[in-house]
Amino acid sequence: MPIQWKRLASLAVFAGAAMCLPAQAADTIKIGELNSYKTQAAFLEPYKNGMELAVEQINAGGGVNGKQLELIVKDDNSNPGDAVRVAEELYVKDKVDVLTGAFLSNIGIALTDWAGHRKRFYLASEPLTNAIVWEHGNRYTFSLRPSTYMQVAMLIPEAVKLNKKRWAIVYPNYEYGQSAVSTFKELMKKAQPDVEFVAEQASPLGKVDAANVIQALADAKPDALFNVLFAADVAKFVRAGNQRNFFDDLPVVSLLTGEPEYLDPIGAETPEGWIVTGYPWYAIDTPEHNAFLEAYQARFNDYPRLGTIVGYVAIKSLAAGIKKAGSTDTEALIAAFKGLEVDTPMGPIHYRDIDHKSTMGAYVGKLAKKDGKGIMVDFHYADGADYQPTDAEVRKLRPAAD
Cα-flanking dihedrals φ and ψ of residue 283, to 5°?
A: -130, 5
Res 400: pLDDT: 67
pLDDT at 22 over 90: no
Res. 313 pLDDT band, cuts 50 70 90: very high
Cα-flanking dihedrals φ and ψ of residue 70, to 5°?
A: -130, 125
Res 96: pLDDT: 97
Residues in the chain: 402
Whether 400 maps to a domain, the answer reads no
- Please tell me whether residues 49 and 192 are part of one structural domain: no
SS3 177: helix
HSE on the CB side for 384, CA within 13 Å? Answer: 22
Res. 401 pLDDT band, cuts 50 70 90: low
- Measured distance CA(56)–CA(70) in Å, rounded: 10
- Measured distance CA(362)–CA(313) in Å, rounded: 13
- For residues 204-229, average pLDDT: 97
Q: Who has greater pLDDT, 2 or 172?
A: 172
Res 5: pLDDT: 43
Whether 57 maps to a domain, the answer reads yes
Whether 402 maps to a domain, the answer reads no
- Please tell me whether residues 153 and 253 are part of one structural domain: yes
**DSSP bridge partners of 277:** 364
pLDDT at 371 over 90: yes
Whether 393 maps to a domain, the answer reads no
Question: What is the DSSP pairing of strand 98-101 with strand 224-227?
Answer: unpaired
SS3 18: helix
Q: 35 and 76 in contact (C-beta within 8 Å)?
A: yes
Res. 190 pLDDT band, cuts 50 70 90: very high
- Please tell me whether residues 95 and 179 are part of one structural domain: no
Chain centre distance of CA 178: 15
Res. 158 pLDDT band, cuts 50 70 90: very high
- Please tell me whether residues 126 and 70 are part of one structural domain: yes
Q: 81 and 14 in contact (C-beta within 8 Å)?
A: no
% helix / strand / coil in the chain, to the nearest 5?
Answer: 45, 20, 35
Cα-flanking dihedrals φ and ψ of residue 136, to 5°?
A: -100, 5
Whether 396 maps to a domain, the answer reads no
63-90: pLDDT as tens digits: 999 999 999 999 999 999 999 999 999 9
Res 42: pLDDT: 86
pLDDT at 301 over 80: yes
Res 12: pLDDT: 41
- Please tell me whether residues 271 and 341 are part of one structural domain: no
- Please tell me whether residues 217 and 328 are part of one structural domain: no
- Please tell me whether residues 167 and 257 are part of one structural domain: yes
Q: CA-CA-CA-CA torsion for 336, 363, 384, 358, nearest 10 degrees? A: -20
- Measured distance CA(305)–CA(240) in Å, rounded: 25
pLDDT at 15 over 70: no
- Measured distance CA(176)–CA(233) in Å, rounded: 14
**CATH code, 235:** 3.40.50.2300
- Please tell me whether residues 9 and 141 are part of one structural domain: yes
Percentage of the chain beyond pLDDT 90 is 91
Q: Return the biggest CA–CA distance within the chain.
A: 64
Whether 397 maps to a domain, the answer reads no
Res 302: pLDDT: 97
How many domains, the chain?
2
- Please tell me whether residues 249 and 373 are part of one structural domain: yes
- For residues 221-247, average pLDDT: 97
Give me the domain span that covers residue 160.
149-283+362-386
Res. 17 pLDDT band, cuts 50 70 90: very low
**Which residue in 146, 73, 144, 150 sits closest to 112, CA to CA?**
144
- Please tell me whether residues 133 and 20 are part of one structural domain: yes
Res. 402 pLDDT band, cuts 50 70 90: low
Q: What is the mean pLDDT of the chain?
A: 93
- Please tell me whether residues 192 and 56 are part of one structural domain: no
**Which residue in 300, 237, 229 sits closest to 271, CA to CA?**
237
Least confident among 57-61, 308-312, 330-334, 398-402: 398-402
Whether 401 maps to a domain, the answer reads no
- Measured distance CA(176)–CA(186) in Å, rounded: 16
- Please tell me whether residues 75 and 183 are part of one structural domain: no
Res 16: pLDDT: 37
